[in-house]
Amino acid sequence: MELRRTLTYRADFWVNFIGQTLFSIIIAYFLWSSIFETLNVEVLNGFTMERMIVYYLLVPLVFRIQQGQTIGSISREIYEGSLNKFLLYPINFYVFKIITHFAGAAFYFAQIFVIIGLYQSFADNVIFEMTFLKFVYFSIAMFGISIAYFCLNSLSELVAFWADYIWSLGVIIRFAVSFLGGALIPLSFFPEWSMEILNLTPFPYMISFPMKILLGEVLLKEFLFNMAVLTVWTLIFLFFSRLLWNKGRYRYTGVGI
């Protein structure tokens, strides 16, 4: 049902998708071409110009997969009073929301392989190729990342039980994941001292990790380690989000705005 709802407004969806992708590529091309030209180098921190363009082609899609279509839905249910039905339905609220989250994520997941297929079909100099092993690694990683992001984002949305306006908290989380995860700039450009600290956080494992898989930079040992760290952070997020849910629902009045 969630997939059908997503596909209801196809034109709006595709305009939004193509617009975001082209916007990201155009900015990346002009920015990094200027940087490469100014520094007069062909390789910068392990990136050639072609590799950098591919990176910024795929990053928005990875970001959308982890976000799905449920951003703001929990807080909206609380504010509008429509959470009432979930308290009455014989279904776990979190299970329902995670399933709807995955429905949106699955749609973007399919798109990224369409883009990769088009890239490999028409690119003159193919930077990477999608193998079966990469597909398995990437699928498992994105499944875990989607759950982790849902649990992290739910922490901010459940604050709606106590606060009247939590939109800024969601923006902070999205910016933190985008910047510290490597969506705005690859993490190889960060100082080494900062990476020692950053690797202790969940952010590098949400964007940089799946991008490394696609670009063929992750072996089995690193994959298992990164997934273990991501799992630990997911359990931490889930614990605190469940704690907020159990406390917050007793403050819920069901009146709505």
Listing DSSP states for 183-205 in one string gives SSS-GGGS-HHHHHHHTTSSGGG
Whole-number pLDDT of residue 17: 67
Distance between CA atoms of residues 68 and 48, nearest Å: 31
Backbone angles phi, psi at 202, to 5 degrees: -80, -10
Query: How many C-beta neighbours within 10 Å does residue 230 have?
Result: 20
- Tokens 């614990």 locate to 239
Per-residue model confidence as pLDDT tens digits over 88-103: 888 888 788 888 888 7
Distance between CA atoms of residues 75 and 102, nearest Å: 18
Contact 244, 156 (CB under 8 A): no
Sequence ranges of the domains in the chain: 2-248
Angle at 43 between CA 41 and CA 46, to 5 degrees: 150
Whole-number pLDDT of residue 79: 84
Whole-number pLDDT of residue 214: 87
Name the token pair of 209.
């990790």
Q: What stretches of 34-155 adopt beta strand conformation (E)?
A: none
Whole-number pLDDT of residue 222: 92
Whole-number pLDDT of residue 228: 95
- Tokens 């359990």 locate to 235
Show pLDDT as tens, one digit a residue, over the chain (257 residues): 766 766 666 666 667 667 677 777 888 889 899 999 998 888 888 888 888 888 888 888 888 888 876 666 788 888 888 888 888 888 888 788 888 888 778 877 877 887 777 777 776 777 777 788 888 999 999 999 999 999 999 988 889 888 888 888 888 998 999 999 988 899 989 998 888 899 999 999 999 999 999 888 888 999 999 999 999 999 999 999 989 988 888 888 777 65
